[in-house]
Structure 1
Amino acid sequence: MKVKGNRAALLTACRTAAEGESLSAYESEERTRGRTVRRRVETYAPPGRLPTGWPPTGRVIRVERSGTRDGRAYRREGFYLTSRADDAEALAGVIRAHWLVENRLHWCKDAVMNEDRGRVRDGAGAAILSLLRGLALSLLRHAGFASPTDAFARLANRVPELLRLLKT
């Protein structure tokens, strides 16, 4: 679970845990879409005391991302809590897998399909519309489209082709 600023006591506990010696560390670097990203993932023993109501924790994970984006340097630090006691490399893979889902599904639903601008915000209607958007993205990927934007451009005003796609 990512620890965010709205949980100040929990974030402070994670930062305090990360002041100690790390149990394991893993580094990676990648270059994509005109940017370079370096990640350093470190695991730490859980803090002695967590804020009231938090279940037992196996590891505190500190992720430092740095690199260049649009020619500008940046550095970000984030903390995660997990019940797992894996090493930093394994936990780095878990975190990357989570963000893959976030980027391939939620970002597409928001940025490409404008889900956040929808007027239906709660109840069954919102859940059904979200499900239909996810289904549409899955169908487009299954049909071989690399991106939803490419699919929308190709299928715009091509109803017979769209219907063939739905029948597969």
Structure 2
Amino acid sequence: MAEHTHSIQSRGREEHRCIQVYEPVGIALQEWEAIRSVLCVQRWGTRQGKAYHNTAYYISSAATSPHHWQSLVREHWGIENRLHWPKDVVFGEDDYRLEDEQALLNWSVLRTIVINILRLNGYQSLKTAMTKLANRVDIIFSLLT
């Protein structure tokens, strides 16, 4: 077992991460024969004065150092926080109940395009952008050109 711990403090938050990387000794399932790493990622700290503690487990066909895993896991959550979370919270993506899977996929792609266009045009807050751009078709079209 190898381990890496990292701590950060910013914006009134304190966060600690500990990644433990194990070799997959004893995992005999044929479907998982390519597994090279088993990870236990613990995150704990305080957000807005409230304590939290989360544990997540990952399996991977890659074998690398705990320090490298640390950056990969942070990248993963960065994508979650910068794309998937806004799509759900700002656009209510999880509330859409379309029967047609292709339509769901198309709408998801369109939301991603909108998020990227807004960010490329300097909008850090999607909520602010949507409020400012509501009923402003002229500005919306100018963002596309």
Query: Residue in 2 aligned with 1:49?
Result: 27
Question: Do residues 40 (structure 1) and 18 (structure 2) align?
Answer: yes
Find runs of 4+ consecutive structure 1 residues off by over 6 angstroms.
none
Question: What is the distance in 1 between the residues matched to 2:40 and 2:68?
Answer: 13
Residue by residue over 1:26-50, the C-alpha shift from the partner in whole angstroms, topping out at 9 and shown as x without a partner, is 1111224432110011211113224
SS in 1 for 2:32: coil
Residue by residue over 1:95-134, the C-alpha shift from the partner in whole angstroms, topping out at 9 and shown as x without a partner, is 1111111111111110000111113254211111111001
Taking only the aligned residue pairs, the percentage that are identical comes to 35
User: Match of 1:27, as an amino acid?
Assistant: T
Match of 1:107 among 85, 90, 111: 85
Question: Do residues 64 (structure 1) and 42 (structure 2) align?
Answer: yes
Query: Residue in 2 aligned with 1:147?
Result: 125
Question: Do residues 74 (structure 1) and 52 (structure 2) align?
Answer: yes
User: Match of 1:35, as an amino acid?
Assistant: R
User: Match of 2:31, as an amino acid?
Assistant: G
Map 1:129-144; keep pairs closer than 5 Å: 129-144=107-122
TM-score, with length taken from structure 2: 0.91
Q: Which runs of 5+ in 1 are unaligned?
A: 1-21
SS in 1 for 2:31: coil
Deviating more after overlay: 141-150 vs 50-59:
50-59
User: Match of 1:142, as an amino acid?
Assistant: L
Question: What is the distance in 1 between the residues matched to 2:113 and 2:126?
Answer: 12
TM-score, with length taken from structure 1: 0.79
Q: Which runs of 5+ in 2 are unaligned?
A: none
SS in 2 for 1:146: coil
CA deviation after TM superposition for structure 1 residue 53, in Å:
2.0
**What is the total number of aligned residue pairs between the two structures?**
145
User: Match of 1:138, as an amino acid?
Assistant: N
CA deviation after TM superposition for structure 1 residue 135, in Å:
0.6
